Structure 1
């Protein structure tokens, strides 16, 4: 799978709909949350139908729970497929995680155990989902707050093997790498350096809450200096990758996100052009 380079984008959120339409900010593309558009009409579709005429759109899901041992939810996949057909996105992504198991739904993105069994399980599930959707998927690394005694490989080794076995590419969230590295005491750069460079299709930059003893991936703060530094260092190893600012709460004026977007451009100008 190969995805086009779109430049620098941001998450499309309802509080910015009107301003985007009236001001047409210098954003190369927008990412939508897939599940917000499972309805047939309403405000999200009213604005998206206009915005997608002016900007490329990608879709990002949060509910696939690809790593669950439950049977695949084909009701969900049908809604996703119908939405893909309406949006006609440049690509579609979700997360390497599970969030539901039987009657339990965590409403959070829980990490996988890094085992051969989990790797084989994911390989089969990704193949099933892609066959049903009739298109390839991109999968994002999640932030984590726990590890499993059963894991016998690192997260980055697991991702490298997943790419080798499936050919799937990743939405690399550099903030999530930083959060997990701080919480578990590993090197964020070791993680990044170990990923197959050809496996990275998109990059997320976001903020978090620093509680000193641990940090929580909240996406409600500006990108911190440490994450900017990781992005700056790692981007020098990469070809130009579509990169975006992700903000999900505590929304600032749009100008603040545009400033972060300009910072991402400035950090990569010398090697991405």
Structure 2
């Protein structure tokens, strides 16, 4: 998985910010857009994306491939994504570890228009591997698959979630889009005794099972509590516990391109840029710490050789 030598923080670009973003041209590492919003090559959104792409690296993040669907992929959707990738030449292409398509008697195949979770079984893994490989063959590039926020669990499982993603990457050649907020939401909803420790344990297990470059991008977002559930609604600033877990992820995997997601109750562009600036500070601090550590190890090695 190709990672930029200097990891940068970016923002999700949403329609209410188009005009201001294009006018101000803020200094961000990259922008990410939802792929499906730009499938029509002739509408206004496509022209905006072309203008943005002329000056910024762009990451395409999809919500409709339904990579865990046992009935296979939607060929028309994949055709439109392939055309968008050809027009945009994005930095990265990603989608979610979910299913949404299923056969319905008398109605053909239906699409739920949701990110539905899958059990971490050998059967699910085989479906994911086949579908991911099919997408990558069409796009002629590896993709990233994002871990979900899920509001139910399955009794049947053959793998832990980190093990599942490590094995998916090994068999298909894809990478992981690591959503730290989703890990936090899942730990909160599971009622973990120590939520922070649970998230860090997930990250530590992934680091043990997979090479650091498995993680091609990191997502950060806000969440909210609604009745008895914590919802991954991307509606507010990144919480302090998620920032802390993010710092742990950087220690595990090194600096990785990082996106601030904000999809509902959109703030001003300045608020979004402020969140990205904080992520960039943490990225730069981790990069500095690693350079200092490497320099110290090199000094010690040289001293041992001379002695």
Query: Could you state the TM-score of these two structures normalised by the residue count of structure 2?
Result: 0.85
Select 2:203's aligned residue among 179, 186, 192: 192
2:90 alignment partner, SS class: coil
**1:25 positional shift:** 0.9
* Residue number among 255, 267, 273 corresponding to 2:282 in the alignment: 267
Tell me the alpha carbon deviations over residues 154-176 of structure 1, each in whole angstroms, 9 at most, x when there is no partner: 21121122122223111101001
Q: Output the aligned Cα RMSD.
A: 1.6
Aligned with residue 114 of structure 1, among 117, 120, 132: 120
Unaligned runs of 5+ in 1: none
Matched residue of 1:106: which SS?
strand
Aligned residue number for residue 128 of structure 1 = 134
What is the number of residues matched between the two proteins? 273
**Hey, which of these two has a bigger chunk of helix by percent?**
2
> Which 10-residue stretch deviates more, 130-139 or 244-253?
130-139
Rounded Cα–Cα distance in structure 2 between residues aligned with 1:44 and 1:135: 24
- Aligned in 2, Cα 1:100/1:158: closer, same or farther, shift over 3 Å? same
Contact 1:29 1:57 (C-alpha < 8 Å) held by counterparts:
yes
In structure 1, the residue matched to 2:12 is: 11
In structure 2, how many angstroms separate the alpha carbons of the residues matched to 1:139 and 1:229? Answer: 23
In the alignment, which of 147, 151, 159 is matched to residue 157 of structure 2? 151
SS of match in other structure, 2:155: coil
The match for 1:234 among 241, 249, 261 is: 249
TM-score between the two structures when normalised by the length of structure 1 = 0.95
The 8 Å contact of residues 3 and 91 in structure 1, kept in 2 or not, is answered as: no
> 1:72 is matched with which residue?
73
CA distance in 1, matches of 2:244, 2:225: 17
CA distance in 1, matches of 2:189, 2:112: 20
What does residue 181 of structure 1 align with? 187
- Which has the larger displacement, 54-63 or 234-243? 234-243
Distance across 2 between alignment mates of 1:106 and 1:184? 25
Name the structure 2 match of 1:24: 25
Q: How far apart in 1 are the matches of 2:142 and 2:127?
A: 17
